[in-house]
């Protein structure tokens, strides 16, 4: 690795047994200002700033008492929630192992497991007023398939949110380019007072990810 003449950018040299693709990934990581900022500020991933930027725009963290983080690994979103909500109960779930986070309960299990919803609510100690979902399916390299698989996770996250949220609560979920499909948008609008799509600045320009921000849960009796 070497620095350019300006002393700011790290240039990654292709090494033996390192593919061109991995070299490009390493170059991007080393020169990403969000990666550098995350290391400096103690966040586990640059994804923390996606949640920070979304919250600065929509203000869904303010006053929140109970948070569920679906797809918590590696823990950046939960770290943001904990720092901004020092008194809130926070529970996360992921198939991947996640290092402990102070005062955050982490369930190492599949969210699609039938037992997951009850386990989450039991650990949380009551109904959440915020459900976060940064879940994405493992990619197979086929854009349409990858988008459909991730959309299925968003739909599962929304179904969970509608089943458990406190009235007035919010749901934040990852979708892909074009946002949520029409059926999902219709379901969101049936259940929430406002539904917006946003691509936070921390989301890479070349990434197809967007987020849906649904606020003001109407309550189950209103949408039954």
List binding-site positions for S-adenosyl-L-methionine: 75, 77, 94, 110, 134
146 dihedral zone (left: phi>0; alpha: psi -120 to 50; beta): alpha
Name 122's Cβ contacts closer than 8 Å, sequence gap at least 6: none
Q: Contact at 8 Å (CB) between 167 and 182?
A: no
Residue with tokens 């949408």: 223
Binding positions? 75, 77, 94, 110, 134
Cα angle 41-177-150, degrees, rounded to a multiple of 5 = 80
Which spans in 64-135 are helix H?
76-84, 116-124
Known catalytic residues are: 174
């Amino acid at each position: 690795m070497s620095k350019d003449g300006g002393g700011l950018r790290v240039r990654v040299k292709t090494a033996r047994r390192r593919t061109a693709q991995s070299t490009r990934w390493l170059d991007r990581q080393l020169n990403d200002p969000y990666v550098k900022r995350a290391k400096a500020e103690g966040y586990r991933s640059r994804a923390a700033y996606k949640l920070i930027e979304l919250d600065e725009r929509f203000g869904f963290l303010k006053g929140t008492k109970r948070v569920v983080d679906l797809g918590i690994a590696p823990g950046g979103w939960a770290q943001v929630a904990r720092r901004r909500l020092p008194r809130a109960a926070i529970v996360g779930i992921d198939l991947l192992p996640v290092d402990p986070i102070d005062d955050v309960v982490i369930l190492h299990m599949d969210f699609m497991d039938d037992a997951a919803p009850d386990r989450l609510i039991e650990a949380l100690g009551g109904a959440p007023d915020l459900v976060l979902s940064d879940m994405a399916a493992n990619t197979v390299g086929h854009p349409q398939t990858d988008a459909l698989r991730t959309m299925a996770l968003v739909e599962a996250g929304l179904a969970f949110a509608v089943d458990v949220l406190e009235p007035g609560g919010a749901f934040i979920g990852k979708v892909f380019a074009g946002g949520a499909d029409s059926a999902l948008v219709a379901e969101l609008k049936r259940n929430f007072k406002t539904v917006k799509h946003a691509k936070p600045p921390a989301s890479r320009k070349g990434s197809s990810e967007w987020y849906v921000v649904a606020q003001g849960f109407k309550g189950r009796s209103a949408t039954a």
